[in-house]
Amino acid sequence: MDIAMILIAGVLVGATIFIIGKPKKERKKEKDLSYYVKMPLQYTIDQVPVSLKEFQKKDKDFDPVYFSFVAFCLFRDVQEAWSNRNLNKLKPLIGERLFEVYEKVITDFTKKGQKNVIQDLMLLNAKICSVKIEDNKETIQVLMMVSCYDYLMATSSHRLLSGNNARKLSITYLVEFERTKEAKEEAIICSNCKQLVDKKHAIRCPFCNQELVPKTYDFIITNKIVLKETEF
Ligand SMILES: [Zn+2]
């Protein structure tokens, strides 16, 4: 789906945010995908580049492998709440500015009897681009390549209005996260084998290998930009 069509339909979540969220001039300055692909992972504290070890003196729990995983879990929860038009669920997961935009778009769709569905979301690749602390605010930029169905349908008749519910899209986003609270070392009960897993930063259950989805997050999504979108 090209940008012109998105403009007409005003459909895709990411693209909608991209168009609504950025004034024209600013949009032109946006770096392209190759810039972020080539970008080496940078940790900075008040604009001074530091090593991961030095960074962890400020945030002892920052673990890049675990963060890539949790970042996608949060992203998936946001997309699910969006598809279900669940504003209460969305609110604690995203920044205020993003929430205002989402709320407006969801309200508009609801008034028109339409629904934007993001389905079967899978992570293809994630790359952390930058991790920084500035004025005690921690932000992380992640390049996230996902696949999903993305379409607009009539809520009552389930008629397809735009997009495609038969072909998946591959979308690369630049997603920005902000830490909202100290990371907690919470034990998780595995949803599959019901064993208590208290291993810090565990992605999978050590007993049955089930993916351990966090119950709460220490981060929110503050921005999301579509860098590339192609049909599979
Ligand atoms: Zn288990």
The model's pLDDT over 35-56, given as tens digits with 9 standing for 90+, comes to 999 999 999 999 999 999 999 9
CA 201 to centroid of ligand 1, rounded, Å: 15
Q: What is the pLDDT of residues 85-122, one digit of tens each?
A: 999 999 999 999 999 999 999 999 999 999 999 999 99
**Percent of the chain residues past pLDDT 70, beyond the cut:** 85
Going from the Cα of 213 to the center of ligand 1, the distance in angstroms, rounded, reads: 11
Number of domains the chain contains: 1
189 domain-assigned: no
Tell me if 190 is assigned to some domain: no
CATH number of the CATH domain containing 174: 3.10.450.240
Has residue 165 been placed in a domain? Answer: yes
The structure's pTM equals 0.83
Dig out the tokens for 20 from the structure. Answer: 């609504």
Mean pLDDT of 11-21: 43
Q: Residue 87 C-alpha to ligand 1 middle, in angstroms?
A: 31
Residues in the chain: 232
Buried b (16+ CB within 10 A) or exposed e, 64-98: eebbbbbbbbbbbbbbbbbbebeeeebeebbbeeb
**Looking at the domain assignment, is residue 199 inside a domain?**
no
CA of 149 to the centre of ligand 1 (A): 29
Tokens of 84: 């279900």
Nearest to 132 by CA among 47, 65, 36, 74: 47
Residues 143 and 158: their CA atoms lie apart, in Å, by 33
Which of 100, 104, 79, 101 lies closest to 89, judged by CA?
79
Q: Establish if 187 belongs to a structural domain.
A: no
Residue 6 Cα, ligand 1 centroid: separation in angstroms?
A: 42
User: Per the domain annotation, does 208 fall within a domain?
Assistant: no
Residue-range definition of the domain harbouring residue 23 = 3-180+217-231
Per-residue DSSP letter, 184: P
pLDDT at 168: 95
Q: Is residue 105 part of a domain?
A: yes
Query: For residue 186, is it within any domain?
Result: no
User: Residue 8 is inside which H or E element, if any?
Assistant: helix 3-9
Question: Ligand 1 mean position to 89 CA, how many Å?
Answer: 26
Cβ–Cβ < 8 Å for 94, 77: no
Residues 184-227 pLDDT 10s: 667 888 999 999 988 777 889 999 999 998 888 889 999 999 99
Cα separation of 115 and 119, whole Å?
12
